[in-house]
Amino acid sequence: MSLSGKSPQLFSHNLLDLYEQSKRDQRPTVVVAPHKLLPSRKNAPTTKIPDTKGCQRCCVARNELTGCHYLCGALEAGVVLLQWYEPMQKFMLVKYFDFPLPSPLPVFEMLVTPHEEYPVICFGVGKGVHGQAVEFHVINLNSLTSWFIDDSEPAWSGPVQVTQLDGERVLVLMDRSVKFVSLQGSLLPCPPELTFDVAVESVAVVQDHVHACWHHGIQLKSLGSGQLVRELQDPCWTFRLLGSSSTVVLETRPVDHPSSASNLYVPA
């Protein structure tokens, strides 16, 4: 999935088909009838997702109990929810919910609750109340209701990340620390809260380690002990975490030439 175009819209890309197409494009030039060069809409490797023009953020989630895959997009005046339909090999519209999302949007992630049909949309995080570690700002797509903190509360201005690890644990990055909480925002005793001495921008959990990426490096900490295991730091390069679902993908660019081609790494 990608957000592309002058007025961003969701696009679906079949990577296998694009790879095969790139190999065909590298073949020697031959004479081919023009009608054979036009791909059919049905088999096009890249297609637009209807009714998603103006989308500013998107996220995907899977319900482990039902096996359903969901795609959610943040539009200018609401939220659109789509579900993957296997026979047609595409995402199809489930529902649209009118809701004035904040701008800029600090967080846009789906939280899958065990016995609800559709995910809950998290569009912000605040400091917890009544013994909770954090307070999730959410839209419940099952009941079409929303909950959010009063506008008078100052918003957290630093990097924020919300990632659901499984049916019971949610990772929250905020204020240079990583907390592991329940779906209700209560702090979990294990693993422990991790703190960092750098301005961490994004994190990924792979096996028993947390990969924490900041502007000029990456730190690797153990989930069990919270100790720093490995660190890479270079002020001549900028670092950005691209993928974090199962394989960590790291992007680097030279500080003095930020528009140059990037280097991609898969840490071992």
Q: Is the C-alpha dihedral spanning 153, 155, 156, 162 positive or negative?
A: positive
Q: What is the pLDDT of residues 241-262, one digit of tens each?
A: 986 666 788 999 999 998 888 8
Q: What is the pLDDT of residue 41?
A: 53
For 207-266, give the DSSP string: TTEEEEEETTEEEEEETTT--EEEEEE-TTEEEEEEE-SSS-EEEEEETT-TTSPPEEE-
43 vs 189: which has the higher pLDDT: 189
Using the predicted structure, report yes or no on whether residue 152 has a pLDDT greater than 60: no
* 66 SS3 class: coil
64: alpha, beta or left, given left = phi > 0 and alpha = psi -120 to 50?
alpha
Domain ranges of the chain: 2-195
Alpha-carbon separation of residue 39 from 17, 19, 47 (angstroms):
12, 15, 12
Q: What is the pLDDT of residues 19-49, one digit of tens each?
A: 888 788 776 655 545 544 444 455 678 888 8
Q: 172: part of which helix (H) or strand (E)?
A: strand 170-174
Report pTM: 0.81
157 vs 173: which has the higher pLDDT: 173
Mean pLDDT across the chain: 84
Using the predicted structure, report yes or no on whether residue 150 has a pLDDT greater than 60: no
Alpha-carbon separation of residue 42 from 32, 89, 174, 177 (angstroms):
21, 10, 44, 47
Tell me whether residue 60 is exposed, middle or buried, using C-beta atoms within 10 angstroms of its C-beta: 0 to 12, 13 to 18, 19 or more.
middle
Q: What is the pLDDT of residues 212-245, one digit of tens each?
A: 999 999 999 998 888 999 999 999 999 999 866 6
Q: What is the pLDDT of residue 31?
A: 53
- What spatial distance separates the first Cα and last Cα of the chain, rounded to whole Å? 26
Q: What is the pLDDT of residues 60-118, one digit of tens each?
A: 999 988 899 999 999 988 899 999 999 988 899 998 988 888 888 889 999 998 788 89
Nearest in space to 89 (alpha carbons), one of 43, 38, 55: 43
Q: What is the pLDDT of residue 32?
A: 46
For 102-159, give the DSSP string: -SS-S--EEE--TT-SSPEEEEEEEE--TT-SEEEEEEETTTTEEE---TTSPPP-S-
